[in-house]
Amino acid sequence: MKITELTKENRQELLKLLKGRNPASYKQQQAAVDEILKNVEEKGDAAIFDYEEKFDHCHLTKDTIKVSKEEMEEAYRSLDPEFIEVMKRSAANIRAYHENQKQTSWITTRDDGVILGQKVTPIAISGCYVPGGRAVYPSSVLMNIIPAKVAGVSRIIMCTPPNAEGKAPAGSLVAADIAGADEIYKVGGAQAIAAMAYGTESIPKVDKITGPGNIYVALAKKACFGITGIDSVAGPSEILVIADETTNAHYVAADLLSQAEHDPLASAILLTTSRKLAEDISDEIDNYLKTLSRAEIIRQSLNNYGYLFVGETMDDCIEAANEIASEHMEIVTKDPFEIMTKIRNAGAIFLGSYSSEPLGDYYAGPNHILPTNGTARFFSPLGVDQFVKKSSIISYSRDALKACHKDIEIFAKNEGLTAHANSIAVRFEGEEDK
């Protein structure tokens, strides 16, 4: 793995390289996605069945597109009971964490008759997309559905691609049942996003679509934003580790590889002040690659987007970390909490040698649907907030409006909006302000 001195120049080169993975860069795929969206909007189920036949080699009908009770029971029987219990414990942790994010409506009143507030309302129906390509992720099912359930969404549907036999992944089905999904449809790819965005004869139109997927899914979500809400346009997975000379190289090497195995486009970056640590981690990575099952994917990822940076000072490393704004950030230094106070941009922050990234992926409770491609500068992890709407509440008494009506009229007239000014003024026609 490459060991590089951390400079302003190569930091800019890295940011440019990482930015190149942004879904907006994939023009050819966007054209294909636009055609799928158009066909699903116009033809509904018929287009869905055609695309499932083409892409997933699965023949579906209106009677088989939805997962049945019998299929769910079969999924439970096919899984190791121990794994089912682990998913239930993970779900309990995720639910407990997200319960702390709930907000309530509020009202304030003033003696002059002014009432102001905010009404918090769950969205009516949410759609969760769960991929089924290189790997199946029941953990993502839990992370998408449980926050919606905690928020109070009344109808939660899930779409996931079937295999050629028309079966959805058993792990995803059981996870959806544990999390509280109401309906599950066997549809994948951009056509699933289109179905949830526009609605078809079988699949309802949803208010928000969440969940990760391949580039076609990401581009479809981007294109459908405005027709429906989305969580974000997810890019490839990322991990960034800030470490010093006290760090265990064996652990950090393992953590870097935990994300590199996702995808050849995944990034794994070390920022450290210790060249010896960087060299030790490079050696450890070479040893791990001899035994890991997804070694070929990892090698591609590390060759493309893997870096071991050695900075002059820890402040240089922190500054670079804030520029990169990684999806996952591990801080494994002598005092990780002190470093953490200087971090502005990260999707999730893992502190200390025993808080490795997979802890957040599977079990701790915080959401693992995180901002990628530098969007941690302005986006947050998926949470309860993404499944509620907030409405402002405004009520003024006549006396309260009378006290400020001239201010409002002046403001409106200065913006050239005389009808706005008139809407206030007519309420006090013929009156002289005292």
Residues with a known catalytic role: 327-328
List Cβ neighbours of 263 (8 Å cut-off, separation of 6 or more): 134, 236, 237, 297, 301
Question: How far are the Cα atoms of 217, 258, 261, 392 from residue 354, in angstroms, in the given order?
Answer: 34, 14, 20, 43
Residue labelled with tokens 């040698």: 353
Say if strands 229-230 and 106-109 run parallel, antiparallel, or are unpaired: unpaired
Rounded to whole angstroms, how far apart are CA atoms 223 and 220? 5
Tokens of 318: 């922190």
> What is the largest distance, in Å, between two alpha-carbon atoms of the chain?
88
Beta bridge partners of 3: 308
Rounded to whole angstroms, how far apart are CA atoms 206 and 194? 10
Say if strands 106-109 and 115-122 run parallel, antiparallel, or are unpaired: antiparallel
Give Cα 184 to chain centroid, integer Å: 20
| DSSP secondary structure letters along 216-242 | HHHHHHHHHBTTBEES----S-EEEEE
